[in-house]
Copies of this chain bind each other. A is one copy, B any other.
Amino acid sequence: MSFVARTSWQNVRDRVHGLILDGTYRHGDKLPRDEDLAEELGCARTTLHRAMRALADTGIIERRRKGGTTVRTDPVTRATLDIPVTRLEVEARGFTYGYHLLERTEAVPPAPIAAALKMLKPHRMLRVQALHLADGRTYVLEDRWVSLQTVPEIAQVDLSTQSANEWLVRNRPVSHYDIRISAHSCDVKEAQLIGAQEGQAVLVVERMTWTNDAPITHVRATNSPGFHLMASSRS
């Protein structure tokens, strides 16, 4: 029954956040300097710093050397989006995962793909079109381009049983990536493949990945109708 509010950075973070929520410090206000605030809250400056960084990460406050810490006036809504490997996503929803290779070709990618991957000189890539299934029904239509220059081994991999994603994930660590989310009206062919009506709106997620500036892959995932992404403020 003892409320031993131990000093911990999470506790400190919540207390500072509380001072903002209850109006002690309002939008645009300047908070005390770290050293003073730490003393006031009874913790080390390092601990306060840890707490403040968490608040700064979520976009609640803004910190500047010499400028001090202020409550953001124009807070951005900053959310973390987790996009798991499709197989795991399907399985997490309690369905049986399936994979079906539609087509596999090699070609130089069209300009938009090359541009998205920031390729200066477009080179031959492997194009893989496939379906991810959930309990036998289409879950996602995937249209992928893989760089044969960065990942030559992919040419020898059997992609009829194993998704290119699964192979890449295990064999080519990614150093950074971009994501683009948009809405799309599906054409006749897409509609048929993902079990939608022609013209129906679907969510399209494109991902571009690189290893140290060398392009790995561009994936365009056309989700089935009704699919949505969820995100939330970081805890």
* Chain B contacts for A156, CB-based, 8 A: none
* Chain B contacts for A235, CB-based, 8 A: 176
A168 CB → nearest B CB, Å: 11
The 0/1 profile, CB within 8 Å of B marked 1, for residues 180-210 of chain A is 1111110000000000000111111001000
Decide: A79 near B83, CB < 8 A? Known: A181-B229, A182-B203, A201-B184: yes
A21–B76 CB distance below 8 A: no
The 0/1 profile, CB within 8 Å of B marked 1, for residues 83-113 of chain A is 1110010000000000000000000000000
Flag whether A66 is at the interface (Cβ < 8 A).
no
A45-96: which have CB < 8 Å to B?
Answer: 59-60, 73-85, 88
Flag whether A177 is at the interface (Cβ < 8 A).
yes
Flag whether A120 is at the interface (Cβ < 8 A).
no
Flag whether A2 is at the interface (Cβ < 8 A).
no
Flag whether A41 is at the interface (Cβ < 8 A).
no
The 0/1 profile, CB within 8 Å of B marked 1, for residues 123-154 of chain A is 00000000000000000000000000000000
Decide: A207 near B177, CB < 8 A? Known: A27-B170, A183-B184: no
Flag whether A173 is at the interface (Cβ < 8 A).
yes
A232–B179 CB distance below 8 A: yes
Query: In chain B, what residue has the closest Cβ to A59?
Result: B82
Interface centre among A200, A226, A233 (most CB of B within 10 A): A233
Flag whether A43 is at the interface (Cβ < 8 A).
no
Decide: A203 near B179, CB < 8 A? Known: A21-B173, A82-B77, A231-B81: no
Flag whether A169 is at the interface (Cβ < 8 A).
yes
* Chain B contacts for A230, CB-based, 8 A: 178-181
A114 CB → nearest B CB, Å: 18
Flag whether A212 is at the interface (Cβ < 8 A).
yes
Q: How far is the CA of A173 from the CA of B28 in the complex (A)?
A: 12
Flag whether A37 is at the interface (Cβ < 8 A).
no
Flag whether A228 is at the interface (Cβ < 8 A).
yes
Interface centre among A83, A174, A176, A182 (most CB of B within 10 A): A182
Decide: A175 near B21, CB < 8 A? Known: A180-B228, A181-B203: yes
